[in-house]
Structure 1
Amino acid sequence: MSDANHARRTAVYLLDQVLGEGRLLAECYAAGALEKLAPEDRARAQRLAAETLRSLERADRVLKKHLKKTPPLTVMNALRLGTVELCSGGAAHGVVNAMVAIVSRHRRHGQLKGLVNAVLRKVAEEGPAEWAKLRTPRLPNWLRKPLVQAWGAEAMLGMEAAHYAGAPLDVTGKPDADLSALGGVLLPTGSVRIAAAGQVSSLPGFEAGDWWVQDAAAALPARILNVQPGEQVLELCAAPGGKTMQMAAAGAKVTAVDISENRVARLRENLERTGLEAELITGDALEQTGQYDAVLLDAPCSATGTIRRHPDLPQAKDGSEFGGLIELQAQMLAHAWSLVKPGGRLMFCTCSLLPDEGECQVEEALDMFPDMTADREALNLPGVEPAWITEEGGLRLRPDYWATDGGMDGFYMALLRKSA
């Protein structure tokens, strides 16, 4: 049975985990944070938490004038969630009562229910007008500063606007699938974009395995790699499997490797649903051996290109792990190159907005390996602007591209060919 207040309580808990414990929402979901909710409440809790994280700066600005000091985190998060709901058209009576009830049940801060009541009543009166005047929320400085240095202040504002707007649903279909029943828009790169998708598993063709969810930017590496029927292909860091399925659907013999058992299990489920085949290995990418016609490495990275869909990331992280990731990417790229047959090719990609995790990695690899060249011609696909092709021969995608059509994930990719 649906319970809107249970969904709100769960959303406040999720905010506490992200903003207090530095946990990503995906970690909370994997740990069972949504297990006791009905499907519609689960979706609502996820939506409320994501909307509050996207609007954190705005919510705090609205609340600031009504608070003499910042209350404990759970109370503050209840106020933030209530503010976002009230300033987005939520019914004042229902929202205020719900947040008061949530705080009153807290074993340590229940006495602050009066504060919550008073503040949110003020927000209900004055907040919506103030909200409309506030700027688009900005990324935290630890991330904003290097991105402004990389792409400039104007591009940064465009990316932040894309982050705030969130992401539509993009899907990739099997080559022979008819996706017209989805009612989406065919993007120039071949993905289908659905503006208001609702429950994914209830969409036409899901059960039949005709398509899978995959951001338009994430679908490009496999399209550029352009595997052929019968080719022996290795994908490293493969889960959840969008690229694996693209290459299997093209007729390649795919070996997909991921270090996480849970993620490999998810990849297996996706393959079973779509009726596609690949050899799955749970293991370390750096320990793989063999020689392949093509290798695809979607290296572990900061995931800063996915903030449209994961607004928790800039709030839960602080950039301290980036140095280790950049070093790991370089090791993985070098090892992946050793697995490419003479005359073969490597697709290196990361869902990052940081040049250190993309352009710089390929520049250094091109200097290190005399038998490596970047294939610029392969990047000339429908929907790809020439200006997106970078100096070293990769492709840089950003959330502010296709701004009027829903944007795209930030991604970097380069097709690297080995001399024969």
Structure 2
Amino acid sequence: MDIPGLPARAAALRLLDAVLRRGETLDQATHNALQNVRGDADRALARAITAETLRWLIDLDALIDSATQQVLPEDAKPRAVLRLMLAQWLRLDTPPHAIIATALPLLTGGPKRLAHGVFSTLNKREARLPDAPTLPERVAARWGERGPAIAAALAEPPPLDLTLRDPAETGQWAERLGGVSLTPGHVRLPRGEAIENIDGFADGAWWVQDLAAGLPARILGAGEGRRVLDLCAAPGGKTLQLAAAGWQVTALDISDKRLERLRQNLDRTGLKAEVVVADALKWEPAEMFDAVLLDAPCTATGTCRRHPDVLHRIGPRQIAEMAELQAALLERAAGWLKPGGRLVYAVCSLEREEGEDQAAKVTLAPEPIDLPGFASTPEGWLRTDPGMAAGGMDGFFVGSWRA
């Protein structure tokens, strides 16, 4: 059926199914789901429809349930299609006639009539979404009093954050790019433009990195030629920061494929680092380090603004699995420090089990974090939430110790 825009909607339906039924991440599911979609614009549209559906899923379901006599099963295809239809109408400003033309062919028979009827009913009611997405119950329970502020930050996709190779040029680049800077070495831009087309990309003047993701490396300060291990380094933003700050960097990660982006960015920026492909649980260094930065694998719930699939995929099992791995990595990282060396541990997770609970187990001497513009916790740790700062930032936990 040759209907313009239909392949993108069919791909969005496959993406949604991959996340909600199979527990895949949006990134994992993208390749297979978008194989039949031609053109960057349609591929981006499929991803945007799915992301907005996941961001507002609880509220979309509430609207659907308000317009049906019997509650549709959670995994019913008409519910999935209606979710996509409403996300396009209420979040992407797609005209209703275009939504109907590209969504109903995904269904046949009675389900098609049902979806058409429910959508038309909600359209006539002039249905609206709340100001902020409703968090899934288990997520709201985990995040407690932080939940409302985090939910408010989820209402819109995040802006684009850049980290500058030379923080001394912050004012110059903010003006040149028409952006704003929230801290030296950072520029924030509106989202939407292709990265490769932004001024300074080809010259390696900056790289894409969320504001919060850039904080752990900032804590280590100037390297002055000292040796640092960036453990679990891919995709490499922290390696670039450390190299730009004068550290002699060893960047280690288990994934050669994920390290490829780091190699490309090192070439583009002219920065230097030793890149090592190895399993951190088995690898042994030839000599100790002055500092180790462990940005550990985690559930990544702190990236929910950009990856709303984490709201629906992550539960106690995933959190426990990540916490076990983090504890093992922390133990090894602590053993690779020279006397007086500094360990910085970070996760882009909002879960206590991956942040505060891990930090409490470390037996090294605590080194309170003092980062201008960012308040530390009473324990001397750093905790960011998506609702912080204008435009938000990823949720991170960062702890620091001395050997």
TM-score w.r.t. the length of structure 1 is 0.88
Q: Secondary structure at the match of 2:9?
A: helix
Q: Secondary structure at the match of 1:21?
A: coil
Residues 164 and 396 of structure 1: CA distance in aligned 2, closer, same or farther (over 3 Å):
same
Q: Cα distance, 1:83 vs. partner? A: 1.0
Distance 2:385 2:71 in 1: 38
Structure 1 residue 174 and structure 2 residue 165: aligned? yes
Q: Secondary structure at the match of 2:361?
A: helix
Q: Cα distance, 1:29 vs. partner? A: 2.5
Structure 2 residue aligned with 1:114: 113
Distance 1:35 1:392 in 2: 51
Distance 1:273 1:119 in 2: 51
Q: Secondary structure at the match of 1:284?
A: coil
Structure 1 residue aligned with 2:344: 347
Structure 1 residue 96 and structure 2 residue 96: aligned? no
Structure 1 residue 289 and structure 2 residue 284: aligned? yes
Residues 208 and 74 of structure 1: CA distance in aligned 2, closer, same or farther (over 3 Å):
farther
Q: Cα distance, 1:214 vs. partner? A: 0.7
Q: Secondary structure at the match of 2:38?
A: coil
Greater mean deviation of Cα atoms: 242-251 or 62-71: 62-71
Q: Cα distance, 1:31 vs. partner? A: 4.8
Q: Secondary structure at the match of 1:218?
A: helix
Does the 8 Å contact 2:178/2:189 carry over to 1? Answer: yes
The 5 Å alignment of 1:366-377 reads: 369=363, 372-376=364-368
Greater mean deviation of Cα atoms: 166-175 or 266-275: 266-275
Structure 2 residue aligned with 1:220: 215
Does the 8 Å contact 2:229/2:251 carry over to 1? Answer: yes
Distance 2:44 2:200 in 1: 21
Q: Secondary structure at the match of 2:292?
A: strand
Q: Cα distance, 1:360 vs. partner? A: 2.0
Greater mean deviation of Cα atoms: 280-289 or 176-185: 176-185
Q: Cα distance, 1:30 vs. partner? A: 4.9
Q: Secondary structure at the match of 1:280?
A: strand
Note the residue ranges of structure 2 that are not aligned, 5 or more in a row: none
Greater mean deviation of Cα atoms: 193-202 or 158-167: 193-202
| Among candidates 206, 231, 236, match of residue 226 of structure 2 | 231
2:261 partner letter: R
Structure 1 residue aligned with 2:332: 335
Distance 1:244 1:38 in 2: 33
1:407 partner letter: G
Distance 1:241 1:74 in 2: 40
Does the 8 Å contact 2:63/2:122 carry over to 1? Answer: yes
Structure 1 residue 417 and structure 2 residue 397: aligned? no
Distance 2:62 2:131 in 1: 10
Structure 2 residue aligned with 1:308: 305
Greater mean deviation of Cα atoms: 159-168 or 16-25: 159-168
Q: Cα distance, 1:37 vs. partner? A: 2.8
Q: Secondary structure at the match of 2:117?
A: helix
Structure 1 residue 361 and structure 2 residue 348: aligned? no
2:132 partner letter: T
Structure 1 residue aligned with 2:374: 384
Q: Secondary structure at the match of 1:238?
A: coil
The 5 Å alignment of 1:3-402 reads: 3-31=4-32, 33=34, 36-67=37-68, 68-70=70-72, 73-88=76-91, 89-104=93-108, 112-126=111-125, 129-132=126-129, 134=130, 136-148=132-144, 152=145, 155-175=146-166, 178-179=172-173, 180-188=175-183, 190-290=185-285, 291-365=288-362, 369=363, 372-376=364-368, 379-385=369-375, 389-402=376-389
Does the 8 Å contact 1:189/1:383 carry over to 2? Answer: no
Q: Secondary structure at the match of 1:263?
A: helix
2:401 partner letter: L
Note the residue ranges of structure 1 that are not aligned, 5 or more in a row: 105-109
Does the 8 Å contact 2:34/2:43 carry over to 1? Answer: no
Output one character per residue of 1:150-179: Cα deviation in whole Å (capped at 9) or x when no partner.
Answer: xx2xx3111111122231111101116552
Output one character per residue of 1:84-138: Cα deviation in whole Å (capped at 9) or x when no partner.
Answer: 222243211111111112324xxxxx65222222222222222xx4314x36322
Residues 190 and 197 of structure 1: CA distance in aligned 2, closer, same or farther (over 3 Å):
farther
